[in-house]
Amino acid sequence: MKVLHTADWHIGQIFHNYSREEEHKFFFDQLKFIIIKEKPDVLVVSGDVFHTATPTIVSQRLYYNFIVELSRLDADLQIVIISGNHDSPSRLEAPRPLWEAFNVSVVGMIDYQTVTDDGGLNFDASKIEIPITKDGGIIGWVLAVPYNDNVVKHASEFYEMLLSHLKSRDDYADNQCVVAAGHLAVKNADIRGHSADIIGKLETLDIQDFTEVKDVDYWAFGHIHYPQAIKGIENMRYAGSPFPISFNENYEHSVVSVNIENGKTESTVIPLKTLVPIIDFPSKPSSYDDALPYETVMMQLFEILDRKAYVRLHIQTEKPLTQVETTAIIQAFEGHEAMFCGIQSYFPEKAEGDDIQSVKTLRELKDMSPFELGCSVYHKKFDKEMPEELKKMFKEVCEEAEK
Ligand SMILES: [Mn+2]
């Protein structure tokens, strides 16, 4: 059985106010040609199809058109799609009966799910077991497990249960391949590409949860955007995002072609081209001392303005940049191919006790109310206390929002 594995498309993402539509089309064109060349029996999309739970009409049209086009391209190609944490499970799954006509299986949610006294789960397994057929016979199965809190809490039990259920089926045979798809974070995976605030929220699973589950030929994971064989285990992979979703994802993106034959799994990473690169300009400094001052950056800016790229600037500065300085930067980009995506300022290190502008830890930030945070940002930006009048208004807004 041949599988093409991809994940984390994030259709509809707006990146610093810029639409990614052209990049998705560019990726879809590449994927189409890869499918023509590789001729997989099944395409597995391991979650985060859309960037938001309420994708726009444009995003939905892009997705529907592409999947239908793939299906028309090769009527024998099966497509299995699971939801990720970014997707709306019910929205993704709503057209499920229609998709079946196109050989597409979408699993957005696990049905009739309850947790039993011993921590086990009760659910409709048959919905998750997708048979892959060839010449009229079943050659393998995709266990299409969508993103789900209970699965994350009982992963090994869950996949064990799925496998034993699968094996109890009349149409299951030992020589059939088994691919387990999931959208979750495995501990010790390479989390390059995820910013610190996301890492804190990842509920991570031990790799033993999966290695101890026998008879799975390939684990097709989504969620971590850096493509990898997890801890070097060849048949346990994150396909990664198809192009950079954030500035941290400045690495080669890819899909995985997996060949399972006589109980052996071989996977090949197929690199993708990135239509619009991301540029840290000048290169990302490690500290204030490494960074270049405003005037120098402005002088050098012309070097990259005519390249179609997302640009983030890094500037060494004593004080926060003024409105005039920031506006001058934004104006420099106008009428050029390069797209301005913000400025990272590098301030000189403060002596201890000089804590007004000190960087707060994530925990400290989480403990602050929106009101406190707002006051602190004001203080940092204008170097003085927020005026009482403004404080009063801001407090009212915060209270209203909390309600
Ligand atoms: Mn994702």
* CATH value at residue 226: 3.60.21.10
CA of 312 to the centre of ligand 1 (A): 22
CA of 24 to the centre of ligand 1 (A): 15
- SS3 for 217? coil
Final residue of a structural domain among 242, 271, 300: 271
CA of 148 to the centre of ligand 1 (A): 14
Please give the Cα distance from 110 to 121 (Å, whole number): 11
Regarding whether 261 and 286 lie in a shared domain, the answer is: no
Cβ partners under 8 Å of residue 22, min gap 6 = 275, 276
Regarding whether 94 and 46 lie in a shared domain, the answer is: yes
Regarding whether 301 and 260 lie in a shared domain, the answer is: no
Q: What is the tally of structural domains in the chain?
A: 2
Report the predicted TM-score, pTM, of the whole model to 2 decimal places.
0.84
Q: Tell me what pLDDT residue 99 has.
A: 96
In this predicted structure, the answer to whether residue 215 has a pLDDT above a threshold of 50 is yes
Torsional sign, CA 160, 164, 167, 171: negative
Please give the Cα distance from 367 to 370 (Å, whole number): 10
Regarding whether 363 and 322 lie in a shared domain, the answer is: yes
Please give the Cα distance from 401 to 133 (Å, whole number): 53
CA of 223 to the centre of ligand 1 (A): 5
CA of 10 to the centre of ligand 1 (A): 7
Regarding whether 230 and 331 lie in a shared domain, the answer is: no
CA of 236 to the centre of ligand 1 (A): 17
In this predicted structure, the answer to whether residue 229 has a pLDDT above a threshold of 50 is yes
Please give the Cα distance from 72 to 204 (Å, whole number): 38
Domain span at residue 140 reads 2-271
CA of 207 to the centre of ligand 1 (A): 19
CA of 86 to the centre of ligand 1 (A): 7
CA of 204 to the centre of ligand 1 (A): 15
Between these two residues, 233 and 122, which has the higher pLDDT value? 233
CA of 178 to the centre of ligand 1 (A): 24
pLDDT-above-70 percentage for the chain: 93
Using an 8 Å Cβ cutoff, are 81 and 106 in contact?
A: yes
Final residue of a structural domain among 253, 271, 289: 271
The mean pLDDT value of the chain amounts to 90
Helix residue spans in 74-192 (DSSP H): 89-93, 96-100, 149-153, 155-167
Q: Which pair of tokens denotes residue 334?
A: 């106008």
Regarding whether 136 and 263 lie in a shared domain, the answer is: yes
Regarding whether 307 and 178 lie in a shared domain, the answer is: no
What are the pLDDT digits (tens) for 319-375?
999 999 999 999 999 999 999 999 999 999 865 544 444 456 666 677 778 888 888
CA of 99 to the centre of ligand 1 (A): 23
CA of 238 to the centre of ligand 1 (A): 11
In this predicted structure, the answer to whether residue 120 has a pLDDT above a threshold of 90 is no
Q: Tell me what pLDDT residue 67 has.
A: 97
- SS3 for 275? coil
Regarding whether 90 and 29 lie in a shared domain, the answer is: yes
Regarding whether 151 and 260 lie in a shared domain, the answer is: yes
Q: Give φ, ψ of 382 to 5 degrees.
A: -105, 0
In this predicted structure, the answer to whether residue 286 has a pLDDT above a threshold of 60 is yes
CA of 220 to the centre of ligand 1 (A): 14
Cα-based distances in Å from 279 to 39, 205, 305, 328, 363 = 35, 33, 11, 19, 30
What are the pLDDT digits (tens) for 45-101?
999 999 999 999 999 999 999 999 999 999 899 999 999 999 999 999 999 999 999
Using an 8 Å Cβ cutoff, are 376 and 368 in contact?
A: yes
b/e per residue 60-93 (b: at least 16 CB within 10 A): eebbeebbeebbeeeeebbbbbbbbbbbbbeebb
CA of 8 to the centre of ligand 1 (A): 4
Quick one: how many helices (H) and strands (E) in the chain?
A: 14, 21
Cβ partners under 8 Å of residue 190, min gap 6 = 224, 226, 228
CB neighbours of residue 221 within 10 Å: 25
CA of 353 to the centre of ligand 1 (A): 40
Q: Which pair of tokens denotes residue 109?
A: 């949610």
CA of 48 to the centre of ligand 1 (A): 5
Regarding whether 352 and 265 lie in a shared domain, the answer is: no
What are the pLDDT digits (tens) for 359-397?
566 666 777 788 888 888 887 777 778 888 888 888 888
Using an 8 Å Cβ cutoff, are 340 and 324 in contact?
A: no
CA of 245 to the centre of ligand 1 (A): 9
b/e per residue 322-343 (b: at least 16 CB within 10 A): eeeeeeebeeebeebebbbbeb
In this predicted structure, the answer to whether residue 241 has a pLDDT above a threshold of 50 is yes
Final residue of a structural domain among 271, 286, 309: 271
Regarding whether 284 and 259 lie in a shared domain, the answer is: no
Using an 8 Å Cβ cutoff, are 244 and 274 in contact?
A: yes
In this predicted structure, the answer to whether residue 224 has a pLDDT above a threshold of 90 is yes
Section 262-269 average pLDDT: 95
CA of 47 to the centre of ligand 1 (A): 7
In this predicted structure, the answer to whether residue 114 has a pLDDT above a threshold of 90 is no
Regarding whether 342 and 245 lie in a shared domain, the answer is: no
